[in-house]
Structure 1
């Protein structure tokens, strides 16, 4: 009985932890971005910090997004190597995004019309390594993205399985 109780408590705590982070979207600040990221206490509020990539140490910023408005994302910016973290609101922009994970070089990237595997395909992007997909919104772990491909902007929902928020590799 004691073992059963321990297992049940473990499962409850695991489910609670998984549920708490279920909605966070992991993105990166474009590793080529040379500007500063301004962090606010609320959308258009007081500036609490201004950070940028540390190119000398190759310490790039990642961003765990947990909330959004039309113009801002809220979450935690973190340096990948040093681990230094900053919480707050960041204005959306072309420098916030992800790469598309594609281990099948001839298979195009599908952008969906909704944040679901059951949605229709909105458009496809022929596999192109190193394209940066701007994230403009999210729904749970789905990212609404814009990507420039051969002079044309393609947009739609990118599934969590196809996202790569690692500033050191493009997952291709």
Structure 2
């Protein structure tokens, strides 16, 4: 009996040591942090995580290095270089309240805060949207006025709008934020693109993908820009047996290309089930159909898109030797190479 109690105690100790996974961002004045193969500053650098890029980490009690998962790679990062999503949202909350409380006479401070607001939104769109949704109406109204009036024309409204579009709404008021950006663009005689992505080309796939017209004539090609970390988003409009008809754009560019591309295992989407790991893939593109696959744990890898129907996508993924497939409902799609969508 003593042995049983002792073993149980060790098990409980192990359970309390490893905490739940969390969403994190880098906390580094240099604008980037190295992801290392082992828990040591002398270990091999396996990836570089930059400002605004999101990752998953696993905090442990009494540990200085945390395991980090980023774009399919698993490594280690010192805890001092990690800022949790909760910390970031608290920082944003304080910034929103402070800015809204500043006197109207503080013109210079207001200009600095305006530029900072847009930079926050560009780097951390999900956190900004979630924190915006939690604000009282008075502060929301103040923020909307700021979003309608960017302090200078160097602010990339299209990039910010695209990133907000990619993560989807966090609350019923989220659409107001995007409407404010449209008003700002209108004042600058711009029109923000209504591009609605439902897939991406995997960020590690760097080959050219030919783009064709309906007669098979080559129009050009699509290609991820790994050097500048500018990746392709796709709105798959319809499909044939072997091809997708897509609207495509690079995240940091305005141009939208249209045409047919050959179906490819590198075309897919991520699942929006970070906070609720269980995921159903349906036998037909309706929630009234029976689940064809049920995934109990969150899979961070990309699901390959095989066909589309309206705003549903049929996906497949192999994980731990098991193949899962079925229709993924629209509100569970996360076509985003930079971050999770929850």
- The bucket for the TM-score relative to the shorter chain is 0.7 to 0.9
Larger Rg: 2
Aligned residues of 2:268 and 2:302 also touching (Cα < 8 A):
yes
Are 1:152 and 2:326 an aligned pair? no
Helix, strand or coil at the partner of 2:331: helix
Aligned residues of 1:25 and 1:138 also touching (Cα < 8 A):
no
Matches of 2:259 and 2:330, distance apart in 1: 23
Shift of 1:62: 0.4
Matches of 2:234 and 2:207, distance apart in 1: 15
Among residues 89, 107, 118, which one is paired with 2:260 in the alignment?
89
TM-score (norm 1): 0.79
Among residues 268, 282, 290, which one is paired with 1:112 in the alignment?
282
Aligned residues of 1:92 and 1:136 also touching (Cα < 8 A):
yes
Matches of 2:275 and 2:291, distance apart in 1: 18
Matches of 1:52 and 1:32, distance apart in 2: 11
Q: Which residue of 1 aligns with 2:212?
A: 40
Measured against aligned partners, the alpha-carbon deviations of 1:104-130 in whole angstroms (never above 9, x if no partner) come to 24x311111110011111111233342
Shift of 1:82: 1.7
Helix, strand or coil at the partner of 1:161: helix
Unaligned 5+ residue runs, structure 2? 1-193
Aligned residues of 1:110 and 1:158 also touching (Cα < 8 A):
yes
Measured against aligned partners, the alpha-carbon deviations of 1:33-73 in whole angstroms (never above 9, x if no partner) come to 12111101127x11110221111111100011112111111
Are 1:64 and 2:240 an aligned pair? no
Matches of 1:25 and 1:81, distance apart in 2: 14
Helix, strand or coil at the partner of 2:229: coil
Q: Which has more strand, going by share of residues?
A: 1
The alpha-carbon distance between structure 1 residues 54 and 153, as it changes in their structure 2 partners (threshold 3 A), is same
Unaligned 5+ residue runs, structure 1? 1-20
Among residues 158, 161, 164, which one is paired with 2:331 in the alignment?
161
Matches of 1:123 and 1:25, distance apart in 2: 24
The Cα RMSD (Å) is 1.8
Are 1:31 and 2:203 an aligned pair? yes
Matches of 2:319 and 2:254, distance apart in 1: 33
Q: Which residue of 2 aligns with 1:122?
A: 292
The alpha-carbon distance between structure 1 residues 149 and 129, as it changes in their structure 2 partners (threshold 3 A), is closer
Aligned residues of 1:111 and 1:121 also touching (Cα < 8 A):
yes
Q: Which has the higher contact order (CA 8 A, sep 6+)?
A: 1
Aligned residues of 2:270 and 2:302 also touching (Cα < 8 A):
yes
Segments ≥4 residues shifted beyond 6 Å: none
Among residues 71, 76, 79, which one is paired with 2:247 in the alignment?
76
